[in-house]
Chains A and B, each alone.
Chain A
Amino acid sequence: MSDPDTPMTFADRYNQRSATDEGEAIFEQTQSGAADLVERLRTEFRVLDAVAFADMMVSLQQWFSDRSPIWDVDEQTSGPAGSGGAGVEWTYRGTHTQTGTFNGLPATGRDVEVHGYSAFTVVESRLDVRRYIDWAGLYAQLGLVVNWRVPILADPGDQG
């Protein structure tokens, strides 16, 4: 369980997931020399899994407390992506316990399951990630609604 007062770092989270002490070294590689790291992500699923986990946890722990089983990945949809990247589809489970950090929401205490896909590539020698997160699914679990009154222009001449 993460402690909101002492958030775990990327390296801590990498070590937590991989059960190794490679976290610091991996984080260093994300900042420079990421080409070698991406090659490992393409070929070593456990590294890809732990990097995606560590990256997402840095954000998710500011909003949620982890709930077992915290994390699942789908190996069928994970691995090499594109000519020089790697991607992993993941599921995170937590409980919304942190007040104020998620756009100011009070803690709802609700269990949530967040689905997403993280794609890793190299940009200017650092590891770049694009996180495709099912925000609508998360918002629905928190009870938020989209306002279905679509704003339109008042002047019909501008509505084309």
Chain B
Amino acid sequence: MTDAMPYHLEKGPTLGLIETYLNRADKRGVLKALRALEADDPDGVGWLETVLPELWDDEAFKKAPTGARGMREHIIKHWFGYDGTSGGPWTPGRPAPARTGNWIGYHGDVNRIVRRTFRWGLEVALGLMPDEDRPGRADPAAIELFWVCGVHWFEGWVVQRPTPHGGRLVTIIFVTPAHEGATVASSPLATSPTTRVAGLPNAVPSTEDHYEQVAFPPAAAAAGPPARPRAVDRPYATWVVTHERHNRLFPLKNNALGAAVGLPLAPPTLADYEGVGGPVVVSPSMPAGGVTYDGWIRP
């Protein structure tokens, strides 16, 4: 939920903060509020502000250029596709075929999908079916959040599994179309000290704090502060395993090159990529969509 996502999968600061407050809150209380708002105000977006009120007071939002309020507006306008401002009523955007928010080639009720995803994630964490109105598990499952960008349409995934010692973990993954201005880095390896670089419109992988590349013998170089725990001992990380870089195989410029008549065509695949080098194992910096070592988002 930032505008800087140079990797296919992201947690980053905003989802990291939502995750923190979701797990810190009384999940039963949050679920109760979500259920009520879903029933009483199905098109409303007020739930985003009200179900986790302390979230938006977090000092970390001061790092965002537009603050907490601007981030909420970004989600309501560019994710949910609503029209309006925080000072006035929010109304659902134009009907199809107008695109929803900033999603390219997609119209849908993202507000309801996101709200229902959070609701079902909380219900799974509490062990409650949608029609059950009881306290649920005394020790609800932890919830983690991720975002994967660049597919046909918008989906929320709720993945549940047991953890050792009787615990449970719920993973929520938002899978979305690409959005305006979306890029993806052709290499996971960072060279830039910052994600945002003057003169560049797009974000790039950065070596900012919490970035780490694992060293695999015999020759690979590691990248990560030596004072940190070993990679395997990090409490939190999001490792991507892939080639060092991806090159365009056939920079296709002309699908109509001359040929003898009567020969079968092959449909162009537009862009073909060749993975080169590696595989490398990298956990992105937090500003580039990764996570912090300890899971905390600091102001």
Using CB atoms and an 8 Å cutoff, list the residues of chain A in contact with chain B. 9-10, 27, 30-31, 51, 54-55, 58-59, 62-63, 102-103, 120-121, 123, 126-133, 135, 138, 145-157, 159
Q: Is A51's CB under 8 angstroms from B261's CB?
A: yes
Contact between B262 and A133, CB atoms less than 8 A apart? no
Mask of B267-288 contacts with A, CB within 8 angstroms, 1/0: 1111101000000000000000
- A153 contacts B258, C-beta separation under 8 Å: no
Contacts of A59 on B, CB cut-off 8 Å?
A: 263-265
A130 CB contacts on chain B under 8 angstroms: 256-259
Residue of A51, A127, A132, A155 with most chain B CB atoms under a 10 A cut-off = A155
Judge whether B262 and A27 touch: CB under 8 Å: yes
| Residue of chain A at shortest CB distance from B264 | A59
Contact yes or no, B260 A30, CB < 8 A: yes
What residue of chain A has the Cβ atom nearest to residue B260's Cβ? A126
Contacts A51-B261, A155-B204, A156-B197 supplied; 13 other A-B pairs, CB < 8 Å: A31-B260, A129-B260, A131-B256, A132-B255, A148-B104, A149-B183, A151-B246, A152-B183, A152-B202, A152-B204, A154-B188, A155-B187, A159-B200
Asked if B6 contacts A154 (CB within 8 A), the reply is yes
Which residues from chain B contact A127 at a C-beta distance below 8 Å? Answer: 260-261
User: A34's closest neighbor in chain B, by CB?
Assistant: B261
Contacting residues, chain B, for A55 (C-beta < 8 A): 261-262
A42 to B245, CA, bound (A): 50
Chain B 161-195, CB-CB to A under 8 Å as 1, else 0, gives 00000000000000001100011111111111000
Sample (19) of A-B pairs whose CB atoms are under 8 Å apart? A55-B261, A120-B261, A121-B258, A128-B260, A130-B258, A132-B256, A135-B255, A145-B105, A145-B177, A148-B150, A150-B183, A150-B184, A152-B186, A154-B204, A154-B245, A155-B191, A155-B192, A156-B191, A156-B204
| Bound Cα distance A62, B246 (Å) | 32
Say whether B152 faces chain A, with CB atoms less than 8 Å apart.
Answer: yes
Asked if A154 meets B189 with Cβ closer than 8 Å, knowing A126-B260, A149-B182, the reply is yes
Asked if B149 is at the interface (CB within 8 A of a chain A CB), the reply is yes
Query: How far apart are the CA atoms of A94 and B205 in the complex, in Å?
Result: 46
Chain B interface SS verdict (over half): loop
A residues within 8 A CB of B263? 58-59
In the complex, A152→B4 CA distance in Å? 13
What 0/1 readout, one digit per residue, does chain B (199-215) give for beta carbons within 8 Å of chain A?
01010110000000000
The CB with the most chain B CB atoms within 10 A, among A55, A121, A128, A154, is that of: A154
Q: Given the complex of chains A and B, what is the CA–CA distance between A54 and B246 in angstroms?
A: 39
Q: Which range holds the interface residue count of chain B?
A: 35 or more
Q: Return the CB mask of B232-254 against A: 1 if under 8 Å, else 0.
A: 00000000000001100000000
In the complex the two chains form, what is the Cα distance from A27 to B260 in whole Å? 11
Given A132-B256, A133-B256, CB of A154 within 8 Å of CB of B191: yes
What is the bound-complex CA distance between A27 and B150, given in angstroms?
46
Most buried by B among A55, A121, A126: A55
Check A128–B258 contact: CB distance below 8 A: yes
- A153 near B186: Cβ-Cβ < 8 Å: yes
CA distance A155 to B206 in the complex (A): 9
Chain A residues whose CB sits within 8 angstroms of the CB of B270 once the complex forms:
146
Contact status A148-B105, CB under 8 Å: yes
CA distance A159 to B264 in the complex (A): 38
Q: How far apart sit A127 and B259, CA to CA, in the bound complex (Å)?
A: 8
A153 neighbours in B (Cβ, 8 Å)? 185-187, 204
Contact B192 A103 (CB under 8 A): no
A154 in complex: contacting residue of B178, B205, B256, B273, CB < 8 Å: B205
Give, as a whole number of angstroms, the nearest-CB distance from A90 to chain B.
14
Whether the Cβ atoms of B262 and A10 lie closer than 8 Å is yes
Q: How far is the CB of B212 from chain A (nearest CB, A)?
A: 15
Report Cα–Cα, A157/B205, bound state, in Å.
12
